[in-house]
Amino acid sequence: MKFYKLTPAKRRALLRQRGIELDEIDEQVLRELDLLSENVIGQLRLPVGLVQNVLVNGHKYQVPLSTEEPSVVAAANHGAKIVTEAGGFTAVSQRNGIWGQIVLQAAADFKIAKLQAFFPELIKQANIEYASLVLHGGGVKTITAEQEKDLVFLKVLVDPAESMGANRVNSILEYMAEKLAVFSGIKQKLFAILSNYPSQITKVEAEIPVEVIGGITTAQKIALLSRIGQTDPMRAVTNNKGIMNGVEAVLLASGNDTRAVEAACGVWAAKSGSYTSLSEWFVQDKKLLGRLSLPLPLGVVGGSIKSRKDVTQNYRILGEKITSQELANIIAAIGLANNLAALLAIATSGIQKGHMKLQARNIVANLQATSSEKKKVLQMLIKSNLYSQTAAQEFLKEIRKENNASRN
């Protein structure tokens, strides 16, 4: 029997026969996971941290972040606290829909004007076929077409309502493409699939009095670092990675597609023709002003969101009636918060000091030691400012030597 047809338990048994040691997993959890993916043999767990009291458009949210990186959660909390105390984030999400592409090959007698005249009827038919999406406020909105030699490129805008919508959009495009394939002058359909090109843009801003972050000198340095990110791709890509640290952590916690957002943000960062920072900070009237623009194709229903207990718990934290627009606003705010915290660290104490202090937990976690010993080693690492596995082992030896001496 083919591997994908086996039960998860039989797949695991087969791997063990091949000499692979597997960690234990609850059978019920394994069966539930098998419904979500392909060739399931186990699970990968990530911690969920919390950013408290993120003030966005006058409303406070508790925001779950799923990441193994403690500094990401710490930075998001630090940046969000600064902005919240300064009055909060202001955000707006423009959710026009998802772009889809249909590409057709045309014959010599093809007339594009005739095809364009059919578009209103095609939209009507598609929205009747997918009436449930229309009922929830979505549906096909527009179709445009361009011809390049024998190729006809159709750009279709579909509103997915509150869902991520990728599968639904692809189904709609396939439905429309089948009707277009038999249209007069069309030789064949080449493909019909959604595009991850940016279409759902969220903008967030923050305004911080300079005294809140250490004065005008610090604010000006943050603005200078931001300016470098506007022109230097090496700085810009690292700046954007810091933004995506927070963005992806919330996307994961909310069951959304990190890959789609990553792809769209990469294009968005290069929309001017050269790669640049997604955020911008500047000083004006003794205030540090920050703004961030991100494409955030996401949803609060559909996909695996409702079928995952870990994700539904996170929605109870966010607010069970949260809309996709609200979630986009929150995610953009977290991205800007992470960016602020990183730039503030670079402008003052440096990024590595706080980062390594948090990373010390991971170092200590790998020790073969008791909980009490690990706690003492962690304190010694932080106090000594030595963050390595070697230092941790030496401190552990010291602790045990002292314990043995006290017993004698």
Residues identified as active-site: 69, 241, 257, 355
Degrees, nearest 5: CA angle 18-21-22: 115
Are 353 and 303 in contact by the 8 Å Cβ rule? The answer is: no
* Side chain identity, residue 240: N
Degrees, nearest 5: CA angle 53-56-62: 30
* CA 329 to each of CA 91, 123, 295, 326, 400: distance values in angstroms, whole numbers, following the listed order: 5, 30, 11, 5, 51
| Contact residues for 111 (Cβ-Cβ < 8 A; gap 6+) | 184, 185
* CA 84 to each of CA 53, 168, 192: distance values in angstroms, whole numbers, following the listed order: 8, 37, 44
DSSP assignment of 337-396, as one string? HHHHHHHHHHHTT-HHHHHHHHHHHHHHHTSSS-HHHHHHHHHHHHHHT--SHHHHHHHH
Separation CA 119–CA 183 (nearest Å): 12
Separation CA 388–CA 363 (nearest Å): 7
In terms of phi and psi (left: phi > 0; alpha: psi -120 to 50; beta: otherwise), the region of 260 is alpha
Tokens for 373, please give them. 């010993």
Tokens for 145, please give them. 């077409």
| Contact residues for 243 (Cβ-Cβ < 8 A; gap 6+) | 278, 279, 292, 294, 335, 336, 338, 339
Separation CA 298–CA 334 (nearest Å): 15
Expressed in percent and rounded to 5, the helix, strand and coil fractions of the chain are 50, 20, 25
Q: For 332-370, b where at least 16 C-beta lie within 10 A, e where not — what string?
A: bbbbbbbbbbbbbbbbeeebeebbbbbbbeebbeebebe
